[in-house]
Amino acid sequence: MILLDAVIEAEGERVACRRTVRPGGLFEDADGNLPAWCGVELMAQCVAAWSGWQAKREQRPVRLGFLLGTRRYQCDVDAFAAGSELVIEAVRCFHDDEGMAMFACRIDAPGAHAEARLTVFSPPDPDAFLASTVQGQDA
């Protein structure tokens, strides 16, 4: 499920994406508004877009990633209005060699603002990571 319409800018540690709220979408309500809680997923997809862009830029395969947590998600509206254009931005502010990273994220639209910090994990070897996770459940 891809909720973003486009990547509008990517450079260094930052990416910006766009999403127009349209009636009839997967999460839009009867009035065509997008509930504010969907902002976390939009932010996570923006981070994934940055990760994919970075991988392509470095000529390496795109890796699987996991959203581990969201801190301080604040949105000043209950829903993003139908017809509004959302600009979602993510800036990487921390990362390590094992695949952990933190992104400062924000969503801006006419009359609406949201922000949060997302913690993500992209294991260097996703197959080994998933195999070890499954084995851990069998124990």
In a domain, 48, yes or no: yes
In a domain, 119, yes or no: yes
Q: What is the dihedral of CA 18, 21, 26, 32, to 10 degrees?
A: 170
> pLDDT 10s digit of each residue in the chain, 139 long?
899 999 999 999 999 999 999 999 899 999 999 999 999 999 999 999 999 999 999 999 998 999 999 999 999 999 999 999 999 999 999 999 888 999 999 999 999 999 999 999 999 888 888 888 777 665 5
- Domain count along the chain: 1
Q: What is the pLDDT of residues 23-57, one digit of tens each?
A: 998 999 999 999 999 999 999 999 999 999 999 99
- Full-prediction pTM beyond 0.85? yes
In a domain, 1, yes or no: no
Domain of residue 100: give its range. 6-138
In a domain, 129, yes or no: yes
- CATH number of the domain at 50, please: 3.10.129.10
In a domain, 74, yes or no: yes
In a domain, 83, yes or no: yes
In a domain, 41, yes or no: yes
Secondary structure element (H or E) that encloses residue 51, with its range: helix 39-57
